[in-house]
Structure 1
């Protein structure tokens, strides 16, 4: 996991794709809370290691989870989590309130954070079930192959090739066959 390390496109609306990366899910109007103090035994909600965004966009690809805050600050602009660094996650569907996904994120070397934290992604306008379904399928594929899948999409529909320009066999083959049959009939008579 890394904070404020996502490379963005020129307009700043999307992350620059990594090599072999495919984006599968994008949802706006998502709230994020990352508390790195709680897992380290510190005081939950302490200003250092606590990141919160009331509105942003979450993007799920075959390699990572990216969160882009709509209103950025010097402390928090975006979050990048390799999908293998999102552990013990679960989908919560409360009676009152929006569905959310919570779990533990592990830091990556050179990512700006030295300790992991508890992450809560609240989907205020839907999308939590689709997000977790895609995430679960990606993690199953990784578990089966022990590598990050380059593509997680169905094969393209089969299209029949166009018919050849000339359906007749070449002339050389036809004349050889007729010569051979006339030779064999002459040999049989004589």
Structure 2
């Protein structure tokens, strides 16, 4: 799932709080972000910092921006690609899949007004119950521009992190196992005949010649072993 303006940060709001078994892989400052919500059809533009962890993407911006934070689980990031237009800067684009309930927007005040955000005692709780309590009903489109030319590095990092999680959107889900056949079905099928058959006429001729030679040899041996019949001369 994903959520806007609902991210737990450190005291000065410049870095997200890492949840259990989470670590930051990449981070970039001076990033321009645009998120277009399919419902209610809002578009947000903000300038700030983006973080890639082994579990999610987090964007943080100053309080005067249109959004203050964005958090997206990597399982809900799909169709990410590197856009390289002829005119303009390169950008990373992706689709945020819908998930959870609510609009995913928290319009409360600054970061200090969000309960538990600066309270490190809550850092051991499951992040699914905090940052992602409000999801996007209809999904969203995400675009990110990097001023320091790190677009490809971020794109590659996201793909590798998603691969480690096995979160590719085009991966087969719940693929049924092949059906087993009963023994009766196997027994009803005739057993294929794998006996060797000779189809070459020359082979048949050679075998016949060998048989004739064998018969002749046998007759000669019998003639040598058996003495000729004794005849008396009167």
Determine the structure 1 residue equivalent to 2:162. 139
Q: Which structure shows the higher strand fraction? A: 1
Q: Any gaps of 5 or more consecutive residues in structure 1?
A: 145-190
Tell whether 2:96 aligns with 1:105: yes
Distance in 1 between the 2:60 and 2:99 partners? 18
SS in 1 for 2:49: strand
**TM-score normalised according to structure 1 size:** 0.64
1:114 is matched with 137
Partner secondary structure for residue 161 of structure 2: helix
Q: Which residue of 1 aligns with 2:83?
A: 92
1: distance between equivalents of 2:24 and 2:163? 17
- Residues 31-84 of structure 1 deviation map (CA, whole Å, 9 limit, x = unaligned): 1111113xx5x7xxx5xx32111x2111000000001123535x5211000011
Deviation at 1:4, TM superposition (A): 0.7
- Does residue 70 (structure 1) correspond to residue 62 (structure 2)? The answer is yes
Match among 51, 54, 57 for residue 59 of structure 1: 51
Change (3 A) 1:15 1:107: farther
Name whichever structure is richer in helix by fraction.
2
Q: Secondary structure at the match of 2:166?
A: helix
Partner of 1:104, secondary structure, is: strand
Asked if the contact 2:99/2:139 (under 8 Å) is kept, the reply is: no
Secondary structure, in 3 states, of the residue corresponding to 1:5? coil
TM-score, normalised via structure 2 length = 0.53
Q: How does 1:174-185 map to 2 (within 5 A)?
A: none
Q: Which of the pair has more CA radius of gyration?
A: 2
CA contact (8 A) 2:80 2:155 kept: no
Give the superposition deviation at 1:89.
1.2
Q: In the alignment, what sits opposite 1:152? A: none
Q: CA deviation at 1:91?
A: 0.7
What RMSD, in angstroms, separates the aligned Cα atoms of the two structures? 2.0
Cα distance in 1, alignment partners of residues 35 and 62 from structure 2:
16
